[in-house]
Structures are given as structure tokens and as C-alpha cells.
Structure 1
Amino acid sequence: MTHSVEKIGGTSMSQYQHVLENIWMRPRSVNGAETSLYRRIFVVSAYGGITNGLLEHKKTGEAGVYALFAEMDDGRSWQSRLQDVLNAMLAVNMGMFGTEGLNNDMVRKRADQFISSRMADVRDCLEHLEAVCSFGHFQLDDHLHRVREMLSAMGEAHSAYNSVLLLRQHDINARFIDLTNWRSDTQMSFSDHILKAFQGVDLDKEMPIVTGYTQCREGLMRTYDRGYSEMTFSKIATMTDACEAVIHKEYHFSTADPLLVGADNVKPIGMTNYDVADQLANLGMEAIHPRAAAGLRKKNIRLIVRNTFEPDHQGTEIRRDYCSSTPKVEIIAGTRNVWALEVFDQDMVGDATHGQKMADLVFESGVRVLTKDFNANTVTFYLKGNKRRINWLMDRLQQVYADADIRVEKLAMVSAIGSDMKVPGLLQSAAGALSDAGVNIHSVHQAMRQVDMMFLVSDADYATAVKALHSRLVEQADIWQQQQTA
């Protein structure tokens, strides 16, 4: 079928008037078909900040409802946090449907009743679970992943339901597809849930608005955590045989972060491949979750990343088979707060199995490995995670490797990424750019495939390193290549 599946991010969803005008009410041709408002399936994220309130802040780690409930504090602070989130949701409803928005009190009351009822159910469920787990036979840890799933569902249910109400007031035949499985006594697999939800949907006449969260037997949160909406998006695209997948974001897919290097210095990227998307995901700067990308890649579904606020821009197309016509650096990206955990152990020399337990403990700690390096007697892991998990890992490693010297240092990682970076002298030029900017390089990583080049630098040098590499490898790329061949 000639249709697209499109995901709208949380920051964009908060700017619902722009989404309405630039996306939903803007007819579009899908794969050369006749221009129409329909033949598009929309997967929506929660409004900006709502999921942070329900779970925990994605960047700062500030406790949300889930984190507070997991602590089982006698003060029951999770209850007031839950009310805070509900108040924020009702404020969104007032903005959309109140006097400053649609100015339709009846629609606002419907929106308020929907989310208030669901949040009341959540409160009742958590209170009952709290009571049950006060008995020694029941342990809260056995249920926390289900609590996290339930709370996650609230944000997307809220935004999807509101979107349908809004679209219907503008004479668009929107259809609410609720994948949260709310108050259902059956539990299906991920695939079966998607298939059942789309039975009877007429894409020529209906615009499905789908919750980004899907409740299923596999448990999306356990595997993908906050990437669950992209997994839903990808699964719908592959299960319905979409010809293209579109992600609407609040910014262009660009050569670097415009906030770091300046909006006038970055360039939107017209086309790249899934390999580049994977490298960005490894840094936590996801165009799309790598597991979600894998499904699209296997089905050869092209992915387009578009700027919500510039609807006339063609966006960035990510394809399976793309490779830049000339080798070059396409993106400078990176991440701060990288923990370099170094284990020096003389007993490692000549023992191929010595590090197996080490790798198991890193996995068990729950931190994310960006990369690692090793020589005869030293292994260094470059990790992303909170300090508590890092400390736990260091303690466990010291218990197992009693004679090892273990130390940790906070660094930043900056990467040059491209679909083909086989440029002679590229490493020399990159290192020179950092050196000229006064940045000391702690470690360098480059694989033989030459799609990325990682530099570990001091955390304080992160912004300087990004700007230096972007200036030399992107902004001055043509000049530098001419200098190399002169």
C-alpha cells in the first residue's frame, strides 16, 4: 500500500499549532501518489516534559513518579508528583481547547475527563500495589518494570487522544488508535497487537493517530526503555508495508549542533545512510533508535527526518544503500559525561579469558558502553551512566580483580561521522585541528570501515573540540582537500 508512517517528537507535539498547520493539515504526496491529507499514519510522543515527570528526567535524572514510587518512601511523595503531572496535562488541555486555543469548553472537558480518569486508575493501582508489597511475600522489585510500562503509557495516550479531538474540530477524519491495552484482560505479542489495531482502518479516508507506547507481551520498556515510541513507529511501518517512514523533529538533521557551532555554520544533510544513524545512536544523539532502524533497514523502507517548523524543506533522507559520492565527514557529534574506567592488571597478560567476568559485570551494571580499548595488561571502558552505577561497577570489579589498579576519569567523546570517510590524511587533519584549538587528546578510535572517528577529550574541552573539528573537517573541507592534493 502507498502510505507513510510518521512519528512526531515530544518537543514538536508541544507546538501543536505548528504540527496542525505544517503536518496534519498540509496535504502531501506519498511516493508519487495523488496529494492527500490521508494515507498517513501518525505515531505521537507525549508532550514535552510529561514523560520526564512520569518516569525521571532524561538528562538530569530528577525523580519522577516512577523513581519516587520505587523508593517506597513513607512520605509517599510519588502521590504529589503524580498530581503535578496531571496538573501539567490539564494545563496542556486548557492551552489547546480553552480560550487561548480552540475555545471549545465541551471538547476541553472531554479531554480532561479522559486523562483524569486514567491518572485516577494509575493512582489506585499504585496504592494497591504499595499495600500488597507491604507483606513480605511480595517484593516491589518484581513489579517495577510493569509500573514503568503503565506510567509510560499515560503521556502518549494523552497526546494521541487530544490530537484526535483537535483534528476532528478541523474536519479531518482522525481515528484514535490506543495501543496502551488499557483495562484489557488479554495480552498480545507486539506484532499481533499492531495487526489487530489496524484491522478495518481505511487509510484512504482515515488519519490514524497512534499512541507511541505499545503494551505487549514482550514489554517494550524492559528492552528499549525510552526508545519505545520509535519501536512502535518502526513496527507499524514494517507490519503495514509502508513505503516510507518520516520523523518530525524540532530541528534539521545537520552537520553539528547549531547551539554549539552556530546556526550559520551548520548545514542540513540532504542524504545519508543507516550506518551513520547507528553511530549517532551510539552517542545518544538518536535520529532513530538503532533497533527501530534495523527493522526499516531490513525492509528497505527509506527514512526521512523533517523539521516540523520548516515544512517546505525536503529534510534528510536515510537510505540503506546510500554512500556519499566523494569521501567526506558528514557530521560532528559527541557526548559529555563519559566515564573512562581503566583496569590495569598484570595477570591479564597472555590470558584470553581473564576479561570475561569484567565484561559480564559491565553488562550487569546497566551502564552503556560507547567503546573500549585494551592492550596487554589494561582494559579501558568508555561508559555512559550515573555515578552510582559507576561506583557499583568499580566496587564489584575490585572484588573480582583484587590485585588490579582501577581508576575512573570523566571525559567527553567527540566523533567525526560519515558514510564514507576514506579521506587521506583525515586523522592528521582532525588531530591538528584539536591541537590548534588547545585540546589535548586522551584517546583515539577508528575502525577499518572508516565511518566514524572518535576522540576522547577532557569534559571541559567538549564544546571547543566540536567547534574545532566542524570548522576544519566540514566548513573548510574543500580548502583542506585542495591543500592535501597540492
Structure 2
Amino acid sequence: MTNTTKHHTVEKIGGTSMTRTAELLDTVLIGTREGDDLYNRIFVVSAYAGMTDSLLEHKKSGEPGVYALFASAEGSWTWGDALNQVAEKMFAQNAEIFSDDGARQTANRFARERVEGVRSCLIDLSRLCSFGHFQLEQHLLTVREMLASLGEAQSAFNTAMLLNMQGVNARFVDLTGWREDSQLPLDEAIARAFEEIDVNRELPIVTGYAQCREVLMGTYDRGYSEVTLSRVAVVTGAGEAIIHKEFHLSSSDPRVVGVDAVRVIGETNYDVADQLSNMGMEAIHPRAAKSLRQAGIPLRVKNAFEPEHDGTLIRSDLHARAPQVEIVTGLRNVFALEFYDQDMVGVKGYDSGILDALKRHSVWIISKTSNANTITHFLKGSMKAIRRVEADLSAAFPSAEITLRKVSIVSAIGRDLSGTAVLLQAIKALAGAGIEPLGVHDLIRKVDLQVVVEQADFENTIKALHKGLIENWAPAQRETLHAVA
């Protein structure tokens, strides 16, 4: 890769933003830029909103997509109908983006070639696995990867063509491994793709999915595009990574605390970003953040549709000037799995047994507390998976009492929550709102304060803590937020 003038940026656009293509041209992709200002940028793009849900399964509802139907087909061809629907959805998206008939047909040909190539592969695989020597389960991760890559390939191809039509020298960079005869390590695949690209004169549009020896979906599942962003930034030596979202990284959810109450976070560090990920409010996937942090590359989170705003700068060395809560967020539907055994005192093995069951059923651990004879895990996952954990533990520890209940967790997060002021103000805010917490976790690390409450108190707890710890915080301390309303 050639870059002789200045450090470039590597920028990711999410699926919801990608769907607003015309607005992206006027803001992130082109806007008021001309000439050289259009370049020294690399874009990693996600699939259009809803496309990956149709290809795999709906992220929230679990409604089966092509992959889920294929994996459970058992001789049925329902997945083929679902793949037809994906193709129609792609053609409809192309019709929205391209008013030019020739460009639309080119985009449709590209989508059709990819879809039909996948269809042929799945048909052949079904036939192969009808013989007892071949087991479908051994190939499902590859199938999942191949299907997921269709969405990113379409959006990257379309974006590059659209930019070319606007006079920008854009290049489609396909990392999906389409018809490649070998798998390279991720960094090598990226380096090879950029060997002949001059970012001073070209605008690379890169697929968010990258096929590689590490098998991204096996480790990150649907968080792969941010991992691609981070490794492209590291391998190409970027000066900054940028994630464009359809909203600012703010002090809380404006739909809960009110638009006028929230503040845009001007700066924070990767430690805070990790805590946000734990609460399901990802600024960036933790593994992607690790790559950027280790390479010393700062991350900026921006609102794609407010290009003049600097957004939120995230760096390892951004320490708070004084104790201050920066963000109040939380998870509404959390399972509290309480494991009680009077014989636990002084006996080892309970912790590892519980963790083995949670890992076996792929249940996400948000937090954990314990005392002499009780271990409570706060979990996120399907009821089905958590019931299986409960059954496994009941069989392994017949003398234990295991209870399961739904709660909510609200977390106040900041770079420095040291001292007693934050905890005292949080308790005061909760009492003033008439909220009685089920538990409060104030850990030694002092970057987050977690409050466990009844589900019915979730939004009121967020409002109370945001008001007490951010809106009404002492002016001398509030300077650390560096916010722009």
C-alpha cells in the first residue's frame, strides 16, 4: 500500500447508516470534500440493515433466516425460498440506490451471481451430506460465513460503484474470499488486498466480513466487521479509526432520560468502552478495541449524519481529571441465577462447575457476586439455554438450592469513580426516586457502579442515576465529561 503524504483513517459504517445511502454521500463519503480531501480514507462497510438477519437469523427475535433454515432443514428446501427472498430484498435495495438503469442492472447482476453461487454450493453440500460419511454439522460454520459475506459484498460493491459514478476514484476491496482457493491469516489477507492500492489517490471500500484462517465468525459471530476495521487499521498503519453510527455516543439513552438531558461524550478511554460492551452498548467490539489499543491507534465514534461534530475520541491515555460518571446505561432482561449450598463453605470446585455449565450453553455472564455459601451470576441469554444450565447444575450438585429470577442491571460508568462521592450520590438519587435496589456492586477497579433492580424500576433507575450523577453533578467535577449538548 502506498501512502506518502499523511496518516490515513480507517472508517466503518454500520448497517442502519448504510441504508441511508443518499445521506451518506452528502456527509461521510463525499460531503463538501474535493480533490485530495476525498482520499487518505479507507471505508469498511456493513451489510444494509436487516440483510444479515435475513441471511442468518434475526438478531433480536431469533426468526430463522437462510442459515437457520438450512441448518435445521433435514431434507426440506425451505432455505431455498428464504434465499429467493434475500435476492429480492437485494434487488429492492439496488432499486432504491440506483436511479440509473445500467448501474442498477450491474448491481443486480453482481447480487445474482453471489446468491446463485451460494445456492449451488448449498445444494451440493446437501447432496454430499446425504451420505453417512459426511456430517452437515462439520460444515455449518463455513456455511454461516459464506452466507454472512453476501450482505457485506453487496453493500461494498454498490458503494464503490456509486462513488465512481460521482467522480470519485473508489475501489471495491473484497475480503470475503469469494472463489479463492486458499485461506490466509487475516493480517496477510488484508496486506495482500492493499498491496497495489494507493490511498492518496484511491478510496478503498472494504467488505466488513473477511474470510481468513482465524474464522472470524467462530470467535466473534456477528461482531466481525469491527474486528475487520481494527485489523485493517493496524495492518495499513492508520492514524485513527472511526466508527460512524446513526447516533452520538451519549451520556444515556435520550429516549429514556430525554433529548435535552443527555450530553455527547467528548472523550473517554478504552476501559470505559469495555464496560459499555459488557452492558450491551457497544462502542466497539472488545477484541477490536484490544487491537487498536495495543497499536496505539485512537478510535473516534461519530454520528454519520452530523459530519461537522467531532464525536467521541477514545484513547488509552485519556484519564479523567476528577471522579465523574460519564455514561448511565443498563440491561433490562437479566437472569439472576442464585446458587446456594450450605456445604460450600471452604470447599473448592463449585465456581468451576458453574462456569463450565455456563460456557457449555454459551450464556453471557454480565456480573457475579458471592459470599460464604452463595454464588449469584447475572446472565444474558435465552431462557432455553439458561434452563439447561439450571438442569445441569441441579444434576451435578443435588444438595444445592438454585433459584432463577429476572432483574435489570443499571450501570454508571466512568474513567474514575474513586472516593465515596459517586456511591453516596447514587444511593441518594435512588432513595429520592423511591427505588430500593436489590443489590449494588461497587468494585475496587472503580470504573463502574452496578445497581440491580426489579425490571419495573429499570427506566426510573436510569433517569434517577443520570440526573443525580451527571445532570446535577458538581460543576467543578463535571468538566471531565467534555460534552457538547
- CA separation of 1:480 and 1:81: change in aligned 2, threshold 3 A: farther
Q: Would you say the 8 A contact 2:322–2:477 is kept in 1?
A: no
Equivalent of 1:463 in 459, 471, 484: 459
| 1:346 has 2:342 as partner | yes
Question: 2: distance between equivalents of 1:416 and 1:393?
Answer: 29
Residue 284 of structure 2 aligns with which residue? 288
Worse-matched range after superposition: 192-201 or 54-63: 54-63
Equivalent of 1:8 in 1, 4, 13: 13
Q: Would you say the 8 A contact 2:12–2:43 is kept in 1?
A: yes
Q: SS of the counterpart of 2:339?
A: strand
- CA separation of 1:430 and 1:28: change in aligned 2, threshold 3 A: farther
Question: 2: distance between equivalents of 1:232 and 1:17?
Answer: 25
Q: Would you say the 8 A contact 1:27–1:35 is kept in 2?
A: no
Which residue type is aligned with residue 106 of structure 2? R
Q: SS of the counterpart of 2:60?
A: coil
Which residue type is aligned with residue 329 of structure 2? A
C-alpha distance after superposition, 1:84-108 (max 9, x if no partner): 22211111100011xxxxx211110
What does 1:374-389 correspond to in 2, within 5 Å? 374-389=370-385
C-alpha distance after superposition, 1:373-400 (max 9, x if no partner): 1111111111111111111111111111
Residue 483 of structure 2 aligns with which residue? none
Q: TM-score, normalised by structure 1?
A: 0.94
C-alpha distance after superposition, 1:179-236 (max 9, x if no partner): 0000111111111101100001001100000000000011000001111000000000
How far apart are residue 35 of structure 1 and its match?
Answer: 6.3
Q: SS of the counterpart of 1:441?
A: coil
How far apart are residue 240 of structure 1 and its match?
Answer: 0.8
Residue 468 of structure 2 aligns with which residue? 472
Residue 86 of structure 1 aligns with which residue? 87
Q: Would you say the 8 A contact 2:28–2:305 is kept in 1?
A: no
Q: SS of the counterpart of 1:156?
A: helix
Question: 2: distance between equivalents of 1:229 and 1:291?
Answer: 11
Residue 300 of structure 2 aligns with which residue? 304
C-alpha distance after superposition, 1:133-191 (max 9, x if no partner): 22332222211111111111011000000001100000000000000000111111111
Q: SS of the counterpart of 1:266?
A: coil
Q: Would you say the 8 A contact 1:27–1:37 is kept in 2?
A: no
Q: SS of the counterpart of 1:68?
A: helix
How far apart are residue 262 of structure 1 and its match?
Answer: 1.1
Q: What RMSD in Å do the two structures reach over aligned CA positions?
A: 1.7
- CA separation of 1:440 and 1:80: change in aligned 2, threshold 3 A: farther
Q: SS of the counterpart of 2:409?
A: strand
Question: 1: distance between equivalents of 2:477 and 2:238?
Answer: 41
Equivalent of 1:319 in 315, 318, 324: 315
Question: 2: distance between equivalents of 1:141 and 1:338?
Answer: 31
How far apart are residue 435 of structure 1 and its match?
Answer: 2.9
Q: May I ask how many residue pairs the two structures share in their alignment? A: 473
What does 1:102-141 correspond to in 2, within 5 Å? 103-141=99-137
Question: 2: distance between equivalents of 1:259 and 1:73?
Answer: 44
| 1:266 has 2:262 as partner | yes
Equivalent of 2:235 in 236, 239, 246: 239
Question: 1: distance between equivalents of 2:430 and 2:78?
Answer: 47
Q: SS of the counterpart of 1:338?
A: strand
Which residue type is aligned with residue 93 of structure 2? V
Question: 2: distance between equivalents of 1:346 and 1:480?
Answer: 49
Residue 204 of structure 1 aligns with which residue? 200
- CA separation of 1:227 and 1:411: change in aligned 2, threshold 3 A: same
| 1:370 has 2:361 as partner | no
How far apart are residue 434 of structure 1 and its match?
Answer: 2.1
Q: Would you say the 8 A contact 1:348–1:355 is kept in 2?
A: no
Q: Would you say the 8 A contact 1:26–1:37 is kept in 2?
A: no
Q: SS of the counterpart of 2:177?
A: coil
What does 1:18-33 correspond to in 2, within 5 Å? 18-26=23-31
- CA separation of 1:347 and 1:91: change in aligned 2, threshold 3 A: same
Q: Would you say the 8 A contact 2:324–2:477 is kept in 1?
A: no
Question: 2: distance between equivalents of 1:378 and 1:96?
Answer: 57
| 1:145 has 2:122 as partner | no
Question: 2: distance between equivalents of 1:26 and 1:299?
Answer: 30
Which residue type is aligned with residue 412 of structure 2? A
Question: 1: distance between equivalents of 2:275 and 2:347?
Answer: 31
Q: SS of the counterpart of 2:293?
A: helix
Structure 1 gap ranges (5+) = 98-102
Which residue type is aligned with residue 21 of structure 1? D
Residue 100 of structure 1 aligns with which residue? none
Question: 2: distance between equivalents of 1:466 and 1:63?
Answer: 33
C-alpha distance after superposition, 1:390-435 (max 9, x if no partner): 1111111111111111111111111000011125332122123223
How far apart are residue 371 of structure 1 and its match?
Answer: 1.0
Which residue type is aligned with residue 14 of structure 1? T
C-alpha distance after superposition, 1:28-59 (max 9, x if no partner): 69xxxx96110000000001111111111112
Worse-matched range after superposition: 315-324 or 34-43: 34-43
Which residue type is aligned with residue 26 of structure 2? E
C-alpha distance after superposition, 1:237-290 (max 9, x if no partner): 011111100110000010001111111110101000000000001111100000
- CA separation of 1:16 and 1:330: change in aligned 2, threshold 3 A: same
- CA separation of 1:175 and 1:481: change in aligned 2, threshold 3 A: closer
Worse-matched range after superposition: 55-64 or 286-295: 55-64
Question: 2: distance between equivalents of 1:144 and 1:210?
Answer: 25
Question: 1: distance between equivalents of 2:136 and 2:112?
Answer: 26
Which residue type is aligned with residue 83 of structure 1? N
